[in-house]
């Protein structure tokens, strides 16, 4: 089974050799016209490949003993794609839930891939006249609050780094915790991206933004760059974060391992923290302690819409606490309001009357 992303060089694409021509054209449209990132296009590739494998199996077009992953979908033509029905898409969603045990968010994403593909086939390329996915609604998902480290946990993480390249790993964590950048953004940084107290970040959809660096980031970068210059074996001299052993750019997976190891040494493993949670941590600390408003936070994080950033409005517990205390009724106590005589209900009043008689 081919893959679309070259993990060592995420900007490179592997050939689309195992999918129908129409799907290949759609992925090229995403990358070349809509300027979607390679990882985003890869997600569509995987989702649509799975859907068409399911379709052939569901229609009995492959031998019964054929392994699911071995199903060949290259022969699916435009007519077959156009013959897909709404019922088959619903069957696919049922398959995702029961055979693949996909959670609602994963099912919603895969349905979105199908809807985008058929929109391309009908609206953008006019290859089909009917869209079987048009009237299928993506289920509304429960919005979970972002998971993040507290201020105390963040300091503990920075204090307990165990590494044979301390300057580099301290710098990685400092940038994550202060700048709120994504993992893919951090590993892609080159030395030329820095100018004075800013760094140019290339985010989702190849959208560029400038991130301002505070004193902690600049100090960490100064120490790391001095240690980096002393390596002497740089194979990718333009890359900011490199391997001490090979001198090549660190992969996203390697940075994940570094973060995991540092979390473990700080006693924070097993709590669901990850590089992405460090991004949430940076945003949370800015919002809670820095009085950063939503529009500013949106620009810092590189969100396309402020609605994505609004999840952080729900985590400022101090503001919520103050709001609850602000009502004029908040100072009324039970003892102040307790009546001098207890209330007698109808049965109690009748019994009291009988005793008096």
Report how far residue 143's alpha carbon sits from residue 115's, in angstroms, rounded to the nearest whole number: 22
The neighbouring-strand residues paired with 194 are 199
Selecting among 277, 279, 280, 288, the annotated active-site residue is: 279
Two structure tokens written together for 241: 């974060």
Residue with tokens 């289920």: 139
H-helix or E-strand spanning residue 5: strand 5-6
Selecting among 44, 118, 273, 312, the annotated active-site residue is: 312
Two structure tokens written together for 355: 């005793």
CA dihedral 279, 280, 286, 291 (to 10 degrees): 150
Selecting among 36, 107, 168, 182, the annotated active-site residue is: 182
Residue 303 falls in the annotated catalytic set: yes
Selecting among 109, 127, 225, 276, the annotated active-site residue is: 276
Report how far residue 213's alpha carbon sits from residue 246's, in angstroms, rounded to the nearest whole number: 28
Residue 204 falls in the annotated catalytic set: yes
Selecting among 119, 204, 209, 225, the annotated active-site residue is: 204
Sign for the pseudo-dihedral over CA of 54, 26, 103, 187: positive
- Strand pairing class (208-212; 194-195): unpaired
Two structure tokens written together for 341: 């005589």
- Strand pairing class (208-212; 198-202): antiparallel
CB atoms within 10 A of CB 156: 16
Q: Could you give the 3-state DSSP secondary structure of residue 83?
A: coil
Residue 182 falls in the annotated catalytic set: yes
Selecting among 200, 244, 248, 303, the annotated active-site residue is: 303
Residue 59 falls in the annotated catalytic set: no
The residues annotated with a catalytic role in the active site are 182, 204, 276, 279, 303, 312
């Amino acid at each position: 089974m081919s893959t679309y992303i070259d993990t060592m060089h995420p900007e490179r694409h592997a050939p689309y050799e195992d999918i129908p021509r129409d799907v290949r054209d759609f992925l090229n449209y995403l990358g070349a016209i809509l300027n979607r990132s390679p990882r985003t296009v890869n997600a569509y590739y995987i989702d649509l490949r799975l859907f068409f494998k399911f379709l052939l199996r569901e229609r009995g077009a492959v031998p019964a003993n054929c392994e699911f992953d071995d199903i060949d979908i290259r022969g699916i033509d435009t007519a077959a794609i156009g013959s897909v029905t709404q019922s088959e898409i619903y069957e696919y969603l049922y398959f995702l839930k029961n055979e693949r045990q996909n959670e609602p968010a994963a099912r919603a994403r895969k349905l979105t891939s199908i809807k985008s593909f058929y929109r391309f086939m009908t609206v953008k390329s006019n290859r089909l006249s009917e869209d079987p996915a048009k009237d299928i609604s993506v289920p509304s998902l429960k919005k979970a609050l972002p998971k993040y480290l507290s201020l105390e946990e963040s300091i503990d993480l920075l204090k307990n780094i165990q590494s044979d390249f301390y300057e580099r790993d301290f710098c990685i964590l400092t940038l994550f915790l202060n700048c709120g950048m994504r993992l893919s953004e951090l590993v892609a940084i080159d030395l030329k991206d820095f100018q004075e107290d800013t760094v140019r970040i290339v985010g989702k959809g190849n959208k560029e933004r400038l991130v301002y660096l505070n004193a902690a980031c600049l100090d960490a970068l100064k120490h790391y760059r001095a240690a980096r210059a002393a390596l002497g074996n740089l194979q990718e001299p333009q890359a900011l974060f490199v391997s001490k052993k090979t001198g090549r750019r660190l992969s996203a997976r390697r940075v994940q391992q570094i973060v995991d190891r540092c979390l473990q040494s700080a006693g924070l493993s097993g709590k669901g923290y990850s590089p992405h949670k460090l991004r949430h941590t940076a945003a949370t600390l800015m919002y809670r302690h820095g009085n950063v408003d939503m529009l500013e936070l949106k620009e810092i994080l590189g969100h396309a819409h402020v609605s994505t950033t609004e999840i952080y409005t729900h985590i400022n517990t101090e503001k919520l606490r103050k709001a609850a205390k602000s009502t004029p009724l908040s100072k009324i106590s039970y003892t102040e309001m307790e009546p001098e005589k207890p209330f007698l209900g109808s049965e109690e009043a009748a019994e009291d009357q009988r005793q008096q008689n």
